[in-house]
Structure 1
């Protein structure tokens, strides 16, 4: 089972978003189960569970893990193909965000568009690498910084911009024979808390 799988097809995305099928996916992410076992867990008739499982299997969201005999019946044990799923913007190709349409480094919506493009591009890389049975050279840096003031945050953004720009200028070689372009994305946003922030915790954009 994969840790994360990317859904790029619109029909597969629709199937995964159905509440009943999403519940079945969550159950099967925990381990293989038969339609009868799932029916008891989710409170649905076995025939209806089988119907949903066929739809999930058709789109590669679940797969056969094995079979077992139970009396005179052979049960199919199904499992989720991944522990979790991400829906790529490619599933809504005609209306997917385009960060090149407008550029505003201080806009949260532009950051969202950049993040959507990151999901789309990395998802496409994963899909292609899986088909070719190759690995992708990737790196991710994740951290958190607590600013004492808005002025400190602005200074951090300025230094970060200069630092990354200097690294890009140092290593970028537009004429390198056999070189391969790479996209770099550096994002900064307030840490999302589990609970809803109080009104006085939400900072207005000047």
Structure 2
């Protein structure tokens, strides 16, 4: 069976296994099958040391054996990475495993229990603020990475294609207020098109649209 195209790393222990420099090098090299003997020769490292790291990667499910070759006095195990790319779930890097957005939602839910109408108004204002918050864009993008990677890996295992689409463009705004007007008009246009194509009982798709300043060439701190 071929390696999956992408694998989501959403377990802290599994991520720690892969983060050391030598193990990152091994994972990159093992996109193509190789044995510990080959890896040691290519990296200029003792075979025992390579074997130690290979075993740790295998136990974490990051690499797998694809072939055994009899050699003089021992059996050589040929290994390969279980995915061509490993993507880190940003949620793994938070201290409590929860995102700020989830905490905000929980807070809004609690308020709704006390005063439903006030909570709905407050939630509306919160969504408006979120629309222009960089943190919210990062949170939504992280969720997209998490969900699409998992579904793509599952589709890959079943031998089917995950149908997705991506829309990209650039627009130049003259003033900050133009961003707000553009966003409002875009939201209305998307709602109209979505209403035209929405079919009860159909396959549900999530559409995420975000905008951020285009990074300047060579700018390390782009404000």
Of 1, 8, 11, the residue aligned with 2:10 is 8
User: Which residue in 1 is equivalent to 2:169?
Assistant: 144
CA distance in 1: counterparts of 2:83 and 2:158, whole angstroms? 19
Answering whether residue 112 of structure 2 is matched by residue 87 of structure 1, we say no
Measured after TM superposition, the shift of residue 147 of structure 1 is 1.0
CA distance in 2: counterparts of 1:97 and 1:12, whole angstroms? 20
Can you give the 5+ residue segments of structure 1 that lack an aligned partner in the other structure? none
Partner SS state of residue 42, structure 2: helix
RMSD, aligned α-carbons: 2.9
Measured after TM superposition, the shift of residue 36 of structure 1 is 1.9
Measured after TM superposition, the shift of residue 13 of structure 1 is 1.6
Partner SS state of residue 185, structure 2: helix
CA distance in 2: counterparts of 1:14 and 1:95, whole angstroms? 15
* Alignment CA distance shift 1:185-1:148 (3 Å): closer
User: Which residue in 2 is equivalent to 1:188?
Assistant: 211
CA distance in 1: counterparts of 2:42 and 2:146, whole angstroms? 34
User: Which residue in 2 is equivalent to 1:122?
Assistant: 148
Measured after TM superposition, the shift of residue 180 of structure 1 is 4.6
User: Which residue in 2 is equivalent to 1:68?
Assistant: 69
User: Which residue in 2 is equivalent to 1:44?
Assistant: 45
TM-score normalized by structure 1?
0.77
Answering whether residue 161 of structure 2 is matched by residue 160 of structure 1, we say no
TM-score normalized by structure 2?
0.72
Partner SS state of residue 136, structure 1: coil
Partner SS state of residue 101, structure 2: coil
For this pair of structures, how many residues does the alignment match? 195
Can you give the 5+ residue segments of structure 2 that lack an aligned partner in the other structure? 105-125
Of residues 3-12 and 88-97 in structure 1, the stretch that sits farther from structure 2 once superposed is 88-97
Measured after TM superposition, the shift of residue 113 of structure 1 is 0.7
CA distance in 1: counterparts of 2:92 and 2:156, whole angstroms? 19
